[in-house]
Every structure is written in C-alpha cells, then in structure tokens.
Structure 1
Amino acid sequence: MSVTLGEEVMLLSLDDESGVARGRASAAWAVAGGTLLELVIRDRVRVASGRVTLTDISPTREGLLDERLHLLGEWARRRRSAKVAEWLAKDQTTSVRATVSSLCERGLVVEERHRALGLFPVRRYPEADGTVERELRDRLERVVLHGARPDDRTSSLIALLHGARLHGIAFPGVPHKQVEPRMAAIAEGQWAAGGVRRAIREMQATMAAVTAATIAACT
C-alpha cells in the first residue's frame, strides 16, 4: 500500500497500542510539511525562496492530496506572496486531522473515542494494520542504521523528521547520538532531485525554527 509522506510521519507519531500522538506539536508541522513536499514531488507545487507556487492543479487521484491542493490554491490566490511558513502554520492542525482520517479509511489505524474524567471527549488512533509501518521502519533502519543509500522519498522523510527533531519517534529506544549525525548528513546531502531538495531545505528550516521556539517556550 502506498502512503504519503505526511501519512508516514503520522504513523511514526501514533503509539501503536494507545493511539496517542508522540511529539505532537513538532509532528503536526512535519505532517503538514510532508503533505506539501508530497505535492512538490508530484509536480503540483514549487517551493523556492520561502514561497510556495502552484504549478499544476490537475488531480493526483488521492483524496488527501487533492483536498490539500485545493485548499492551498484557494489560500494562495488571496495573497500577494504565499509564504511556506504561513501555509504550514495555517495548515498543520487541519492537515493532521485529514491525515488521520485518511489512515482510518485505509484501515491502518482505528478511531477510539473516550471521555477523560468522564467529561472531555478524547480521540485516539491505535494501530489496526501494522504492515505499512513495519515496512517504513525497516526502510528507515536500513538507511540510517545500516548505511543503505536512500531514495528520494526516504531522504525527504528523514529530512522532515530531522528538521522537526523527531528522531525519537523514528527510532524509539535508540540513542539520539547514534542516529542524529546520519540523519543530518542525509538531510544536507544531494540525494533528492533539485526542486525537491530546495523544498526540503525550505521546510526543514521552517520546522527547525518552530521547534527551537517551542522548546525555548517550555524551558
């Protein structure tokens, strides 16, 4: 089963048993960034100089991506300058909801509803079918832990995870110092094609700045 970069980030973030999202704030930016980067890879969007431009509005035939593309187009048309950081800030919450809904529709996670303290509604998304996530984690391990050469999609995902400092959800139980240098090298390398590489740089810089600000606010 093929899933988008945003869905891959979401799968890594959701705890398999409890369905609770780990690293929620940073993961939300990475999910939105992954969805935007997916549109870049599919030649629907160009990202350069901190701005996003639609280059092709034809459907991708994937509901999740087509919805984001439509919303991005409407948003960009109302602005003289469509900045990447502004779009990600606007889209992160709705992108997460749309991505989780897509994972439910694909049968990869299941929605469970609870009431915290008997009053407040809570939704969780434990794993229903782990085959896609297992393949994903195996692919990340081959590249990051065992030195395999990444393809464009894997290098893009690793760059997103590194930019958002989500090393822990990608490699739970593995010391940060063991994975961070390799992920940084991939994020800064020349694996991806030129347009995709530029988009990775833009989104990685945005997420790194937001993550740093979030950490500073919590200290």
Structure 2
Amino acid sequence: MTGVALAEELLLLAYDDESGKATGSRIGLDLGMAAGVLVELALAGRVAYDNGSIVVSDPAPTGNPITDEVLGRMAGDGPLPPASWVQRLRHGLRDRILAGLVGRGVVRDVDETALGHIHVHRYPAVDATVETEIRGRLAVALTGEQVPDERTAALAALVAASRMEPSLGLSGAALADAHRRLAEIAGGAGFTGEVSLEESTVRPSVALVIEALASAIDAALGARR
C-alpha cells in the first residue's frame, strides 16, 4: 500500500487548506471515503466482487490500521452487497481518517468553541505537498494526455461517483469538462461497462469492485441536480 490511502486523498481534496473546513456534500464525501477503503483493499488483492457482493479473497493484513480493521470486520460478517458496506463503514470513518492525518502531521486539529460551549474542529493543512501531489495527478489525468495509473483512475472514479468535482476548484465550463473527463477515465478503466474488462486499463478484479461501489454511491445520493 502507498503512504496516502484513497480515502485520505478524497478527504484532503474536500477540505480547504486554509480554513480547514469541509466543502461540498458531507454524505457524498463519507460514502466516497467508505468506498475508498474498499477499493484500497481491492487494489491490495484482499477483496473482490462476486455474485453481487464484496467478498474477502485474502485475509492477510495490509499494514494500514483502518483497512485492516475493515478487512477483519468483513471476514467476520461475510459477503454483503456494496450498498450495505458503504453505509456500514461511513459512520465515524471521517474522524478516524482525520485523526490519522493529524498524527502524521499532514493537517492540524484546531479546536474552537462556539456559543460558549460547542466545540468546532477545523483541519487546516500543515504539509500541503501531500494534497499538491494528489491534485497534480488528477490534473494530468484530466488533460487526457496520458492514461492514468490504476490508483489515479480509481481516485478519479470515486471523485465522480461522490460528486466531488467542485472540490477541484473549477466552475462553469471547466467544471463540466472535468465531469466529462472523469467519466471518460472511469469508462476507459472499465468502471462503467463502456469497455470490456479485457480492454480495461486496470485489473478486472479492481474494475468490478469500483463499478459496483460507484453504482452504490450513485443510488445513495439520488438523482443529480
């Protein structure tokens, strides 16, 4: 596994570096991060999509505390549909991912008090190079000049499924173009059924998991406005 997990990448894209506040849909981000943990396990060869459910194919630990806890939970609970897993995993996941990023010095926890007794937490960036690298990979992918690697294609698909395009800092025609390009990346990677798994730019086992999770997120969020 890499140093920054997909769920962490989604969270960093969604939080403003200076204000430390989340932007966009809270439920969209939470569902996307839950899916990100599952995709991470698929990339590591630990889970697969089979007969309508996500199943554990290899229970060996990955070395990441969050993904390993989820892997153990999945092994104990047995196969479940993607929609069930993203709903089960999203609760409390954001706080755990934020705590991990704080512990590694990527963001800091600013605890403020509102109305004299309500604690409000902000998470401004400490090490902005992490998010810069993430945005750089997505920017290159959006140009269409080269085929994105497996992890970047997965991230692009999750951004699109979670409807996080506004977090890319785009608006108007540029935002519409980004949505189109993210959809193209997902299609070329075999995440949407537009190409065969044999033609996919990622492993078929990973493409199946992402396609199923993207559909689950889309159904949970309802019709696009």
- Normalising by structure 1, we get a TM-score of 0.89
Q: Is 2:182 the counterpart of 1:180?
A: no
For the Cα contact (< 8 Å) 2:161–2:217, is it kept in 1?
yes
Separation (CA, whole Å) in 1 of partners of 2:68 and 2:155: 20
Separation (CA, whole Å) in 1 of partners of 2:146 and 2:16: 26
Query: What is the 5 A alignment of 1:42-121?
Result: 42-74=44-76, 76-77=77-78, 81-121=79-119
For the Cα contact (< 8 Å) 1:111–1:125, is it kept in 2?
yes
Separation (CA, whole Å) in 2 of partners of 1:148 and 1:8: 21
Separation (CA, whole Å) in 2 of partners of 1:192 and 1:83: 22
Percent identity, aligned pairs only, is: 31
Listed one character per residue, the Cα deviations across residues 80-112 of structure 1 (whole Å, up to 9, x for unaligned) are: x51211111111122222211111122111111
Change (3 A) 1:126 1:50: farther
For the Cα contact (< 8 Å) 1:143–1:150, is it kept in 2?
yes
Listed one character per residue, the Cα deviations across residues 172-210 of structure 1 (whole Å, up to 9, x for unaligned) are: 134321211111011111221101001110011011112
Q: Which residue of 2 aligns with 1:31?
A: 33
Separation (CA, whole Å) in 2 of partners of 1:49 and 1:8: 29
Change (3 A) 1:146 1:46: closer
For the Cα contact (< 8 Å) 1:50–1:85, is it kept in 2?
no
SS at match of 2:147: coil
Question: Unpaired runs of 5+ in structure 2?
Answer: 189-199
Listed one character per residue, the Cα deviations across residues 132-159 of structure 1 (whole Å, up to 9, x for unaligned) are: 1101101110110353210000000000
SS at match of 1:108: coil
Q: Which residue of 1 aligns with 2:126?
A: 128
Separation (CA, whole Å) in 2 of partners of 1:49 and 1:200: 15
Change (3 A) 1:182 1:108: same
Task: Return the letter of the residue paired with 2:16.
Answer: D
CA-CA distance at 1:49 after TM superposition: 4.0
Task: Return the letter of the residue paired with 2:213.
Answer: M
For the Cα contact (< 8 Å) 1:48–1:202, is it kept in 2?
no
Q: Is 2:169 the counterpart of 1:164?
A: no
Separation (CA, whole Å) in 1 of partners of 2:75 and 2:11: 24
SS at match of 1:90: helix
SS at match of 2:92: helix
Task: Return the letter of the residue paired with 1:21.
Answer: A
- The two structures, once aligned, show a CA RMSD in angstroms of 1.7
Give the aligned length.
210
Which 4+ runs in 1 deviate beyond 4 A? none
Separation (CA, whole Å) in 1 of partners of 2:103 and 2:70: 17
Separation (CA, whole Å) in 2 of partners of 1:97 and 1:30: 14
SS at match of 1:122: strand
Question: Unpaired runs of 5+ in structure 1?
Answer: none
